[in-house]
Homo-oligomer: A and B are copies of this chain.
Amino acid sequence: MIKTSDEKYLRAIYQISQAEQGQKATISELAYYLDLKPPTVLERLKILQAEKLITYKKTSGIHLTKSGQKEAMNVVRKHRIWETFLHKVCKFSWSEVHELAEQLQNVNSEKLIDRLYTLSGEPQFDPHGDPIPSKTGVLPSSQRRPLLNSVEGCKCVVLGVNEDSTDFLNYLTELNIGLNERLNVEKLFSFDGSVKVKYKNSVTAVLSSKVAEKIMVTCIKANCLCKV
C-alpha cells in the first residue's frame, strides 16, 4: 500500500510534469512546490524510487513510473473530488477550497470519495476547471474551444490563447486574465459578437469578438451547450 506521505510527492510530481508539458521535473522545483529543502526531497525520492513509483536521474529528472502514474491519478482524483465537494456542497469559496482539500486528501477511504462524488453531482471538472480522473485514471478530455463560441451562463476556464503577440498578451495581463482563469459568460452581444464575462468573483469585462476568438477555454459544467 502507498503511504499517505508518498501521496503529496506523487501529486506534486504529476502537477509539475503536467505544467511543463514533458519538460523534466527537478528536485529544486519539487522542493519549492512542497515547501521543503532539496536534501529532504532527494532523500525521499530515493525511497519512492525503491518503491518503483518514480525514476530519477540527475540528468533526466524525475518521472513517474506506470504504477506511480496510477497512484498519482488516484491522489489527484481524491483531491479534486474533495475540492468539488467543498465548493458545490459545502459552499466554500473557490479560494478556501484548496488548502482544506490538501488536509482532507490524506483520509483513506475510496468509499467516502465515491459518496462525495455522488453528492457533488459527478461533474467531470473540479471548481478550478481541472479534469477529475476516473477511477481507472482516465482524464475526461477537455473540449478546447474559443471563448467566442460560448452560450450565456457558461462557466469556463482559460486553457490558453491562440495568438501570442505582445500586444494581445499585454491586453490580457491588463485585464488580469491569465491561464486557468475561470470566466462566467454573462452576456453575448450578437450585433458585434462581443462577450461580457465575470471573473475573480466580481470583476467584469466586455471582450471584443476579436479577443474572444483567441482565448481558448473549456466548459466546467457538465453538458454545457457551448459549440466546441
Contact = CB atoms under 8 A, between A and B. Distances in A.
A31 interface: no
Contacts of A86: 112
- Give the contact-size bracket for chain A: 10 to 19
Nearest to A96: B111
A201 interface: no
A34 interface: no
B90 A116 contact: yes
Contacts of A90: 112, 115-116, 119
Interface string A78-93: 0000000010011110
A50 interface: no
A108 interface: yes
Given A92-B115, A104-B107, 5 more contacts: A90-B112, A90-B115, A91-B115, A100-B107, A104-B104
Interface string A102-122: 011011110110011001000
B112 A100 contact: yes
A104 B113 CA distance: 13
A86 B111 CA distance: 11
A112 to B, nearest CB: 6
